[in-house]
């Protein structure tokens, strides 16, 4: 894939405090890149810098072959931005959706036609005449997206587009974003703190924490090889296990956790205290030891059983605090209840040790 937008050595400081320090980031042609991070990580600042709406203290941004003022001009022409808090100018939905075209001095007929097309794509064609003061949150955000897409941008920047929507509206809106970003734009940068949104929509995810990119990769990369406890957490891992590195075996760490020795991925010196990230659904429970490719196996007593929807969350006391999630039917077949004994199988690659 060829490069559409790239940036490097970016540094932004507010009142002397460094809020962004990005070594390198690239958005490729046809790609949807999500920037994921907690609140205050610098995501919006990164978007503003990449869209050249804000100048960094140092660093460069390249759009296609352009840099500097040329890139800025080209981005104003080719890029559209949807802000987390989109400002709708006083007036009708139609006025707002057509505003970018009006600024480009499009003719009235062309504008009316394209406003209708853009509104139809977002399912708000019945609202064209409505005053923006009378819109719901979801409708207003659709207006903001229509206002961006009507410009037929090569590049689309979306800053937390679903953050202010309630759950039901968000799901439908996310589907529309998936469809529209694939069909109309050459590259999309999605800023979000919602891991589900990032992993559902993105080709690659860049994880930003305290202004720094800590990992950039496909959702599978991040899922399988989290580089940081935060990434492990956002990909659904839990940290209820801890222990100490007591040795190594086949490139894996041997970790003693409450008297149970577990093989795990990770990098830590011998004797280091570590937290073990794992996904509770990766633990397989059985009523007795069985043949398995999983290299970790231990006996445990069930201490708590809690149904969660169609699944059951089982707390165990093998290594203290370990949790497994199994289906209801598995729980019934195994007769899982407080006090019962089970054998736990878990692959070494499902455990990631992070030094404390």
Residues 278, 346 contacting (CB under 8 angstroms): yes
Query: Which residue in 77, 248, 328, 341 binds another protein (CB under 8 A)?
Result: 77
Contact flags string 37-76 toward another protein, x per CB under 8 A: -----------x--x-x----------------------x
Q: Answer yes or no whether residue 83 interacts with another protein by CB under 8 A.
A: yes
Residue 85 in contact with another protein, rule: CB under 8 A: yes
Residues 123-182 that bind another protein (CB under 8 A): 132-133, 135, 137, 140-141, 147-148, 151, 157, 164
Could you give the CA distance from residue 20 to residue 10 in angstroms, rounded to a whole number?
Answer: 7
d(CA 1, CA 234): 27
Q: Using CB under 8 A, which of 25, 88, 316, 353 touches another protein?
A: 88
319 binds another protein (CB under 8 A): no
Tell me the number of residues near another protein by CB under 8 A. Answer: 30
Give dist(CA 77, CA 73) in Å, integer.
Answer: 6
Rounded to a whole number of angstroms, the minimum distance from the CB of residue 283 to another protein is 42
Q: Does 94 bind another protein (CB under 8 A)?
A: no
Any idea how long the chain is?
Answer: 356
**Nearest alpha-carbon partner for 192 in 82, 97, 279:** 82
With CB under 8 A as the contact rule, the residue among 20, 35, 61, 86 that binds another protein is 86
- Interaction of residue 87 with another protein, rule CB under 8 A: yes
Q: Using the rule CB under 8 A, give the single segment among 80-88, 107-115, 301-309, 323-331 that binds another protein.
A: 80-88
Shortest Cβ 332–another protein spacing (Å): 46
3-state secondary structure of 241: strand
Cβ contacts of 196-202, under 8 Å, gap ≥ 24: 197/34, 197/162, 198/34, 198/36, 199/34, 199/223, 199/235, 200/174, 201/32, 201/34, 201/174, 201/177, 202/32, 202/33, 202/34
Could you give the 3-state DSSP secondary structure of residue 289?
coil
């Amino acid at each position: 894939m060829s490069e559409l937008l790239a940036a490097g050595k970016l540094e932004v400081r507010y009142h002397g405090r460094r809020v962004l320090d990005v070594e390198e980031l690239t958005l490729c042609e046809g790609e949807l890149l999500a920037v994921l991070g907690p609140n205050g990580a610098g995501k919006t600042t990164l978007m503003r810098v990449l869209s050249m709406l804000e100048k960094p203290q140092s660093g460069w941004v390249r759009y296609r072959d352009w840099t500097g003022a040329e890139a800025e001009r080209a981005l104003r022409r080719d890029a559209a931005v949807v802000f987390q808090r989109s400002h709708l100018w006083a007036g009708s939905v139609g006025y707002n959706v057509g505003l970018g075209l009006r600024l480009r001095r499009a003719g009235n007929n062309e504008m009316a036609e394209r406003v209708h097309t853009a509104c139809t794509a977002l399912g708000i064609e019945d609202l064209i005449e409505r005053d923006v003061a009378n819109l719901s949150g979801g409708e207003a955000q659709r207006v903001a997206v229509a206002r961006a897409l009507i410009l037929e941008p090569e590049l689309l920047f979306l800053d937390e587009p679903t953050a202010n929507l309630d759950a039901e509206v968000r799901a439908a809106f996310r589907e529309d974003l998936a469809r529209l970003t694939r069909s109309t734009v050459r590259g999309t940068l999605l800023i979000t703190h919602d891991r589900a949104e990032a992993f559902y929509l993105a080709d690659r995810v860049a994880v930003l924490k305290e202004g720094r990119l800590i990992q950039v990769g496909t959702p599978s990369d991040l899922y399988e090889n989290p580089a940081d406890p935060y990434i492990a957490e956002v990909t659904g891992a839990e940290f209820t296990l801890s222990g100490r590195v007591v040795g190594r075996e086949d490139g894996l760490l041997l970790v003693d956790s409450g008297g149970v020795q577990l093989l795990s991925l990770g990098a830590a010196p011998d004797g280091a205290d570590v937290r073990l990230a794992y996904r509770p659904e990766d633990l397989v429970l059985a009523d007795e030891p069985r043949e398995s490719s999983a290299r970790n196996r231990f006996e445990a007593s069930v201490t708590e059983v809690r149904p969660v929807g169609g699944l059951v969350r089982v707390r165990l006391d093998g290594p203290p605090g370990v949790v497994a999630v199994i289906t209801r039917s598995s729980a019934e077949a195994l007769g899982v209840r407080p006090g019962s004994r089970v054998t736990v199988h878990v692959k070494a690659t499902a455990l990631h040790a992070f030094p404390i």
